Chain A
């Protein structure tokens, strides 16, 4: 035994004597994880969060979240002598005087965008593959919580520097708060410590941005990962993979190296972006003042859909019993997002209600094999995309020399028309893909080889696909829609008939499938 082994052994023994960790460690170092590129999306979100913590901590050493008025005398000549808040001045100092400061600011901002983007794409992966099904409904809700908080955290973050662009964002957030019926005015005065903009808001959101929300994030991410660990990861269908096993590689050494390495790759790519790609050049905007605005004011992309909805809202502001109800703000700013996020959080339960399926699922769906769900997902994405495009309607109008009014009308109509259209098209596409799978299993792969028959007819030679591929294309379950009794055995109609009729219609729509080929079909073809 070498000296090094002896020392390591002694340390391990010392720790195990006091914690009994060896048994647990042995088991978990051998933990098996399935391999697929799409499982790295959540990893990117996790690593971006760590990068955000590291780069954010660096920034707090120099950032001064104070609205104290100072006259700038720093290195950036165009703003010398300009009155501004200490917050903005310190953001300029970080950018121009602290070595590595601008790099860290840009890494922080880029990783925030990557964090949000990877959360959204990860969520899409989980949704379209049905990974949210039992037993993972709770983790789905945690994920929706993280997405929602991420949007808030990102908004607060880019609001801190108190430049003209971010101040405009706060102005809009203030208007949304103030539009809340009954308590809005009081709430706005409470949060802002008086009138807009005041001097209290930025120091307050600083506390929220660097302490409260990161703390909540840490707690939620920990639970999210512990559940993944404990429930074991889902896996894609394939030969040898069942609901009862996990096929993959063990944590030690494969995933230690791969996941650890991947952290450095994500960090490296983010640092590269921070080095070469300018983001939020806040020295160009100047300090915030409520009397000015930059043309083409845009929020970061994950807020863009919200801004797009606000832009397309109709000018509705009824006065009811002498009180003003700002529907033009409330509908796009609070009601629609509220419906979207609640609907997302509840989706696993809605689908369970429709299918009546209470079993555990660990094998992922191929999106085409769940046409209704896939179509719903694409429908929601289309809605978001129209909203997001309208959030940049001024930039689109400028770039493509279009009329902003026409883009707005396109969005106003499109937001109602395009999502249902997307639903129909996607569902048809999924069913067509199922049909193509069926053809492939029954008739084999087209080889591109043409043969002339004695009769003079040309036919293409088909080759049977491998047993592995045939299994992949047919392993999924195809269940008949949930049977619901409309009347009990004495012929009396059940209560809640409308609800059960609705459920039945959903169940039928959800179960629409192209029948998958069976051995019987294969044999029948062989007989011909």
Chain B
């Protein structure tokens, strides 16, 4: 019963129904670990992996699980996948694993994942479910990354510091010192900064949406044909 094309899935996940900016789901990790780009990227990638794997698994078993027990089954699948990702991160990116701490196991409780499993993957074949999971995860990860970059930039004056935690020794000198001798802005590094910048990002998205809507409306606004007999009875006459 796939009723959406892949491009629609992508547009939904990345923009129209973005988990971070529109559904406001998963705010806890979004606000908790977005203090720098590397933290944000680490958790973003982990969330994408969990989301894709859980969507695929849920979609595979969608005919075998009854309506009544579907939620426990989904949660078990998500928990299992999250545990796998956690162990992988522990093995390959140990320092980042230590920094992200509780937020990695907390991916289990991220509403986006259960939400997509129940709302989409449980009703659709494997491939669309995987694409949906990837796009939703990507949308979440991008918001997380933008938030992390903004907070790192304003809070510490750098970009992509400590990227070697994620990419190994190659990335050791990826740090961009944007402002030298920058005074750390503690408020931005602390959780309140996440709320402030999240609000600004949502406002920016709404601004862009309104702008697009106004442009569309202006394009569709066909002028009334000459000789129209309609008489305006309300409103102001320009």
Q: Do A and B bind each other?
A: no
